[in-house]
Structure 1
Amino acid sequence: MRNALKAILSLTVLTSALPLMSFAEKGKSIYGEDDRVDFFSASAGMQKLSDSVVSFWDAKKIVFDPASNTYTLKTDNFGDKLGLCPGEKFREQTIGAFCSGALVGEDLIMTAGHCVTEETKCADTKLVFGYAVKEEGGQAPAKIAREEVYSCKKIIKRFQGAESSAAASSGLGPDYALIQLDRKVTGHKALAVNRNSTLKKGNAVFVIGHPVGLPLKIATGAKVRDTAPDGYFVTDLDTFGGNSGSPVFSAKTRLVEGILVRGDEDFIQSPAGCTTLAVYPQIGGRGEDVTKVAELTAFIPKLDVEKEAEKAAEALVNANTIKTVSIGDIAALRGFDAGNISFQ
């Protein structure tokens, strides 16, 4: 648990006390222990999944240098920008991204609908692979190879609205977007989404993204709290503004179950006058909302491995070997990594 000082902090939300940030959506936080880790300290399997997650940047914050064929990222010091208290986790790292997303097709990114609200925002957005701390004691790169930076070409599908049983003014409900990039992605693999989810309360989940615009973080140790709402489910994931659009995975199958879209307050003010993270008991707070991937799977083309899985399943069923089979089952039988799939 966090130290005693944080246990007695007021839950007053910082408004004017915090510097203005460019996050598309604020309001996410820590539940119980802070389970976020950097890329370098994650397992090989988690790193492989992370390689398919992108950070979203305002175009003006990325400057191309033709001499080196790289982009320079304009960033700020996390602690200085938000006036963080000494000792806060990741305090000395850089921030700059405003949302996160996942590669789900050869040129297709899945994210939150509030991250890219219209075509003009799309045109003003750059998507970056590899903004991560890849060695202990290191920093995220200040320069990114040209091949790792993509532009948003157009919005394929977008929705941001209330669930059918709630008033439109509630702001709750599905929140998603699929965007097409300016070219096909090379050097990265598409993530497989769960087209037949049976997610239940208590199931373990994890998230990969860019909290507060930080270098990529993986947050495990979370569970599903509620799957009843229309179009989304509730979790206790450790997330922040900037995590919006992050893929949320089943810890069991490592298939994408949804998109992180909103949650509780991010920061509070300490008695010392500095800013600290908002921390809630593991079962406390309002929870973090995740758009169900079922809301948009119809718009995500099937990957080659999914098509192969369907053929294999049909063959097994026809042979009366089994009655039903999932992509996860076929992946295990054929030696695929269901959560991270190459294009053929």
Structure 2
Amino acid sequence: MVNRITVSLAVSVVSLLSGSSVWASGGIHATVIYGEDTRKDLYDVTSSLELKLADSTTAVMKASDLTSSGAKTRIASHNFGEEFQLCEDEPFRDQPTAAFCSASLVAPDLMMTAGHCVVDQDACKQTRFVFGFNVKTRGKYPSEVKTSDVYSCKSIVRREQVEAGPDYALIRLDRPVKGHVPLEISRAGNLSKGDEIMVIGHPSGIPTKVAGGAHVRDPNPSGYFVANLNTYGGNSGSAVFNSVTGRVEGILVRGERDFVQRDSCNVSNHCPLDGCRGEDVTKIANVADLIPENR
């Protein structure tokens, strides 16, 4: 990221999808691949723990991009490769892009995301949290979800957005969630350098991706930690998990530039595992007091 300015993961995605101003403030934020690209669609995930965790995460979408008709809700999307002018060999280029952020369920009617994803009550009214925007069968991309899996933002319980610090929002939903189990959060506060972590969310707004094999680089900045997670614009708000315990350690909020130009098209920006600036993750301790324990 140029000059290490804190900016929004959501902005580049929503700008491309809507052609209009975004709700999140703060410019353009993007991220990167560290070492090997570990992103997986759900059909490629073999871990029962990872699949269980993914089932409690959502895409964050604009209400205007969703059309409900009875039991099904159709999603207005764009082709990922075309929208981002990707090169032919870029992974997932044929998939749809529709989400501007990611979120996770932490209580029956509480959703957790980044603060810059839902900036005020007006944005809240236009925001939807969508379960099921994923690929469970190779080549079968989602164009609709169950209407019962679409939830509205009722109110912002707590929100903070500090340029070089915490960035989070706890959202009260319009109704309790059915069919998905709230995630367990880490309350120990003992994250250490080298601890293995993973992230589940919607890179560049595409269907759910699970990306593991990452590690904590620096656990000590105020209100957040730094890691080498493989994340992109649209991953903002994604839950970051302890790979051993499966508990949420934080919320993905900031990071490196995601795409670079190669000839006349774009490819993912690649960094060594310990290279570039790293990705910033808001510590779960910032919101733990508002999340019920032992639900």
Query: Which residue does 2:267 correspond to in 1?
Result: 276
Moved more, 47-56 or 129-138: 129-138
Counterpart selection for 1:199 from 173, 183, 191: 191
Does the 8 Å contact 1:18/1:82 carry over to 2? no
Does the 8 Å contact 1:97/1:213 carry over to 2? yes
CA distance, structure 2, for counterparts of residue 138 and residue 54 of structure 1:
19
Shift of 1:300: 1.1
Deviations 1:185-237 (A, max 9, x none): 00000100011121100110000000000100000010000011000000000
Does the 8 Å contact 1:19/1:82 carry over to 2? no
Query: Which residue does 1:46 correspond to in 2?
Result: 50
1:57 and 2:52 aligned: no
CA distance, structure 2, for counterparts of residue 255 and residue 301 of structure 1:
14
Identity of aligned residues (%): 46
Rg larger for:
1
Does the 8 Å contact 2:110/2:171 carry over to 1? yes
SS of match in other structure, 1:193: coil
CA distance, structure 2, for counterparts of residue 232 and residue 54 of structure 1:
22
Counterpart selection for 1:244 from 236, 240, 243: 236
Does the 8 Å contact 2:49/2:246 carry over to 1? no
Shift of 1:82: 0.9
CA distance, structure 1, for counterparts of residue 188 and residue 54 of structure 2:
23
Shift of 1:240: 0.5
Counterpart selection for 1:110 from 112, 127, 131: 112
Within 5 Å, which residues of 2 pair with 1:84-123? 84-123=86-125
CA distance, structure 2, for counterparts of residue 150 and residue 299 of structure 1:
20
Does the 8 Å contact 2:248/2:284 carry over to 1? yes
CA distance, structure 2, for counterparts of residue 19 and residue 214 of structure 1:
12
The 3 A distance-change label for structure 1 pair 215 and 31 is same
Counterpart selection for 1:132 from 126, 131, 134: 134
Counterpart selection for 2:30 from 27, 51, 55: 27
SS of match in other structure, 1:88: coil
Does the 8 Å contact 2:237/2:252 carry over to 1? yes
Shift of 1:178: 0.3
CA distance, structure 1, for counterparts of residue 14 and residue 94 of structure 2:
17
1:215 and 2:211 aligned: no
Counterpart selection for 1:226 from 203, 218, 226: 218
CA distance, structure 1, for counterparts of residue 75 and residue 120 of structure 2:
24
Query: Which residue does 2:156 correspond to in 1?
Result: 155
SS of match in other structure, 1:114: helix
SS of match in other structure, 2:289: helix
Aligned length: 275
Does the 8 Å contact 2:13/2:204 carry over to 1? no
CA distance, structure 2, for counterparts of residue 32 and residue 50 of structure 1:
23
1:291 and 2:282 aligned: yes
SS of match in other structure, 2:117: coil
The 3 A distance-change label for structure 1 pair 261 and 196 is same
CA distance, structure 1, for counterparts of residue 80 and residue 276 of structure 2:
24
Shift of 1:19: 10
CA distance, structure 1, for counterparts of residue 66 and residue 179 of structure 2:
21
Gaps of at least 5 residues in structure 2 are 1-11
TM-score w.r.t. length of structure 1: 0.78
